A and B are shown apart, each in its own frame.
Chain A
Amino acid sequence: MDMNSDGLLGLLKERMSYLSKRQAVLAENVANETTPGYKPKDLAPFSFHDTLHQVSTGMMVTDPRHITPASMSGVNASAKAMKSFETLPSGNAVDVEQQMMLVSQTTIDHQEVASLYHKIMGWFRIAVKGS
């Protein structure tokens, strides 16, 4: 296990920035609840497998002149239109209840990742202190 940003910690980092990004997209949806013609958006689901693959076998930068690898697919995902329950006559399709559920889900997921990160840091501490 190393402390570089690849591997396990890299994966958690990618997951965390994905969740932050998703929360921003959901905030946009809730904010535009009254805007006529607004369609809600969401990010593509986070792919654990793809991200792990990219984090552990991605391009390495060993020299400043190297091309830096593009950011990981999970985080790079752009917001796409999401399915909604109903569309109002004004053309607005935001369902606040659905959005709020997704917001709290994202918060819980974020807390989970933060706890995992904390746990792994505890392991490092054990490795360093030897107890």
Chain B
Amino acid sequence: MDNDTNKIFAISSAALQAQDQRLKIIAENIANANTTASSPTGQPYRRQVITFKNEFDKALGANKIKVGGVSTDKSAFSRKYDPSNPAADKDGYVQMPNVQPLTEMMDMHDAQRSYEANLDVIEAARTMMVHTIGLLQ
């Protein structure tokens, strides 16, 4: 009982950490949605993408989720006409980051929902533990 409940806490808290990391990357993307270069030769902010993998924890005997890595989105930058910008090229266009605020918002909701689900599992395990301890009364 105790062993399994501790296992649940370890698995779910690893997942909470992973979703936390995901939310951090999303925040970074949204914050930098308008970050352009300071010169025409520079590049604007490139969207970051987080990937997950599951890793077998030998000590725990369960598959824990782990952040696989953070890579960059390879899609093309969008262009915006803004001749007064220091990063504008000779035609007056500025390269804008490849961040889509709508995509980021959807991703954020997904991360939030996943976080809640894991919290609920921890809560369920805690309730079970309380019932077991209640047998002592």
Contact = CB atoms under 8 A, between A and B. Distances in A.
B114 A104 contact: no
Given A24-B8, A103-B121, A30 B134 contact: no
B6 to A, nearest CB: 9
Contacts of A21: 4
Interface residues of B, number: 36
The A contact surface, by secondary structure, is: helix
Contacts of A5: none
Q: How large is the interface on A (under 10, 10 to 19, 20 to 34, 35 or more residues)?
A: 20 to 34
B1 A23 contact: no
- Which of the listed residues A27, A31, A35, A99 has the most CB atoms from chain B within 10 Å of its own CB? A31
B131 A35 contact: no
Contact of A34 (B52, B63, B137): B52
B53 A35 contact: yes
A23 B128 contact: yes
Contacts of B53: 35-36
A32 B54 contact: yes
Given A31-B11, A31-B14, A35-B52, A24 B124 contact: no
A19 interface: yes
B132 A30 contact: no
Contact of B125 (A23, A38, A117): A23
Interface in A3-58: 16-17, 19-21, 23-24, 26-28, 30-36, 38
B109 interface: no
A100 B55 CA distance: 22
A83 B113 CA distance: 22
Given A23-B4, A36-B52, A100-B117, A31 B131 contact: no
B118 A117 contact: no
Contacts of A114: 131-132, 134-135
Interface of B: 1, 4-5, 7-8, 11-12, 14-15, 18-19, 22, 51-54, 62-65, 110, 113-114, 117-118, 120-121, 124-125, 127-128, 131-132, 134-135, 137
Sorted nearest first, the 9 A-B pairs with minimum C-beta distance are A31-B15, A20-B4, A114-B131, A27-B8, A35-B54, A107-B124, A24-B4, A110-B128, A24-B7
Given A24-B8, A30-B121, A31-B12, 10 more contacts: A19-B128, A20-B5, A23-B121, A23-B128, A30-B12, A32-B54, A34-B22, A35-B54, A36-B53, A110-B127
